[in-house]
Structure 1
């Protein structure tokens, strides 16, 4: 159940949230860092 929720969350993130993979993390502003962290958190939890 938990894994299915996070997989759905990752699909939602890919559709709605901006992609930041080509940008330098040190040059991102605080909102972009929060988005990047949330995407990473959801992805790692969907893989467990």
Structure 2
């Protein structure tokens, strides 16, 4: 059940949130909001793959 929720969240992230790798964002120069989005996407992806 938990894994299915994270898979749905991962798909929503891909549709709604910006892709920083496509923008070639330097994480050392990222704003706090960009870092929060990046962290959220990593958290969701990690849990979707477990």
Gaps of 5+ in 2: none
Q: How does 1:1-48 map to 2 (within 5 A)?
A: 1-21=1-21, 22-48=24-50
Q: How many residues align?
A: 48
Question: Could you state the TM-score of these two structures normalised by the residue count of structure 1?
Answer: 0.95
Gaps of 5+ in 1: none
Structure 2: distance between partners of 1:44 and 1:34: 15
Moved over 2 A (4+): none
